[in-house]
Amino acid sequence: MAALRLVEPDAVPAPLAAPVWPIAPAGRGRVVAFVGAHGGAGTTTAALAVAADADRGVCLVDADLAGGETAERLDLPGPPGDAGLAGAGDPSAAWAVLARRAPFGILAVTCPRPDLAWLIRDGAVRALVAEARCAAALVVVDAGRPLGPACEAVAEADLVVLVWHAHRPDAAERARRRIERLGVEALRIADCPTAPTFLERFAGRLRGAGPAFDLDDPEELLLLVEGRLASLPPRGGA
């Protein structure tokens, strides 16, 4: 996916005095979390594609504690706080430090240094997502393969998009069961089987999993996300 250009590198003040993107009614932006069923599934590519292609202000939260690459993929400089949430003494104040302007709206990276992920306090990711809800109508979360605090973002999501290579339905089923154990209803989980790589096709490992999404062409994936969100009631009846 082509690198997107930085618009403004300054940290976003909290609260936002003069936002340039739509604010969700009553501070309840819808949250879409991308979860990988296995390593290298493509959650970062999918999350960036939806954030970049959406026609409204978006907040992208990189909650991949194994080290997401959203900032690098967007050609952004290093994060303002190199420890991310691990260095935030007050999780409620982390938003002012971590949120930065990006071409589609806002980017917040929770864990620039995976070696410090164990220092992230319980509730910190949930608090960051809550702040993101107040700042944007659509919050896109790259959760990677969610572990520990990253699971908070998945549990808070209105929609969880499960990304998996089309030849790995077994991994997708195991991941789905883990997501449901976090309290996410089955109707709030959407499958995103992705096209197999050339080597996977060559090895003949593709087992019929239905049509696969091409993450380099995000239009179909965006339609899936927006269609499912439109059909779902907001969480908590808000």
Tell me the per-residue pLDDT of 41-92, one tens digit each, with 9 for 90 and over: 899 999 999 998 876 679 999 999 887 788 888 887 765 567 778 777 676 6
pLDDT score of 233: 84
pLDDT score of 11: 44
- Of residues 216 and 185, more confidence is placed in 185
pLDDT score of 207: 54
pLDDT score of 228: 92
pLDDT score of 5: 37
29-233, what's its fold? Rossmann fold (3.40.50)
pLDDT score of 15: 36
- Of residues 84 and 170, more confidence is placed in 170
pLDDT at 17 over 70: no
The predicted model gives 152-165 an average pLDDT of 95
pLDDT score of 93: 77
Q: Domain residues of the chain, as ranges?
A: 29-233
Per-residue model confidence as pLDDT tens digits over 92-135: 678 888 888 888 889 999 887 888 888 888 889 999 999 999 98
What percent of the chain has pLDDT above 90? Answer: 36
pLDDT at 214 over 70: yes
pLDDT score of 173: 95
Q: How far apart are CA 184 and CA 162, in angstroms?
A: 12
* Backbone torsions φ then ψ of 2, nearest 5 degrees: -65, 145
